[in-house]
Amino acid sequence: MGTVVDASNKEANGGSLSEKKFRVVFVLGGPGSGKGTQCANIVQHFGFTHLSAGDLLRAEIKSGSENGTMIQNMIKEGKIVPSEVTIKLLQRAMQESGNDKFLIDGFPRNEENRAAFESVTGIEPEFVLFFECSEEEMERRLLNRNQGREDDNIDTIRKRFKVFMESSLPVIEYYKSKGKVRQIDAAKPIEEVFEAVKAVFTPLNEKVKHRHRSDASWSFNRCMRQFGEKIKCFWTRRVSS
């Protein structure tokens, strides 16, 4: 499935992610488009480790780190936390996971995030899963979420939408120009969205196998139908003669 980039030749990696090959899928989409919800499903079915940049930043606030207050203020304003902070958290989580395939959810959020991640880790995403959803629907979901997130209030939600349109969409456009975007209609019910997601993650050879299987069963059914017709003809002729 797609390319796997070897991060071993990047000095900036500091050896931390070195000598390992990683499969990385960026999961992008507006606030409330369902990134976290679908990532949980993908983890169950396809064995990826889910790294939500937002969750890592929120955990950093809780941990009482020196960056905590700065991160908290940025999130309240819907602003994008400096790349070096987020990338360090992502790198650490990748190392600690022991896995080699990752869903990076909600990152990169702007061109600077994207370029910095690539140059620091040497990793390019295999593809980008993009959840497309109207603001009206996303707003409804966020206002109904009730998980006590400080940024789920109407003022911050509107700011998050603006940042998404201005800073994050260009990242999606960049990957579109490289043919790496897999766009999903995320306005549908959760199960239907996941059906579309599964089709993206199911390896091509699996899809071919399924198609061959269904081709074979179609031919078998057709044969049986024709055979049945022949027997019917035979008996009709015998009965009438």
Instruction: Specify the stretch interacting with Mg ion by CB under 5 A; choose among 28-36, 110-118, 126-134, 202-210.
Output: 28-36
For residue 129, give the amino acid letter. Answer: L
Q: With respect to Mg ion, which residue has the nearer C-beta, 36 or 68? A: 36
Q: Does 23 bind ligand UP5 (CB under 6 A)?
A: no
Q: Are strands 49-52 and 127-132 parallel, antiparallel or unpaired?
A: unpaired
Residue 185 has which token pair?
């209609």
Mask: binding to ligand UP5, 149-168, rule CB under 6 A, as x and -?
--x--------x--------
Mask: binding to ligand UP5, 92-121, rule CB under 6 A, as x and -?
--------------xx-x------------
Query: Which of left, alpha, beta for 167 (phi over 0: left; psi -120 to 50: alpha)?
Result: alpha
Backbone φ, ψ for residue 130 (5° rounding):
-120, 115
Residue 42 has which token pair?
């993908």
Q: Does 29 bind ligand UP5 (CB under 6 A)?
A: yes
Q: How far apart are CA 214 and CA 22, in angstroms?
A: 34
Residue 168 has which token pair?
């994050």
User: Of Mg ion, ligand UP5, none, which one sits near residue 25, judging by CB under 5 to 8 A according to partner kind?
Assistant: none
User: Of ligand UP5, Mg ion, none, which one sits near residue 29, judging by CB under 5 to 8 A according to partner kind?
Assistant: ligand UP5
Of residues 164 through 223, those in contact with ligand UP5 by CB under 6 A are: 189-190, 193
Coil/strand/helix, residue 96 = helix
User: Cα–Cα–Cα angle for 204, 206, 211, nearest 5°?
Assistant: 95
Shortest Å, Cβ 60 to ligand UP5: 11
Q: Does 26 bind ligand UP5 (CB under 6 A)?
A: no
Q: Does 82 bind Mg ion (CB under 5 A)?
A: no
| Residues that bind Mg ion in the complex, under the rule CB under 5 A | 35-36
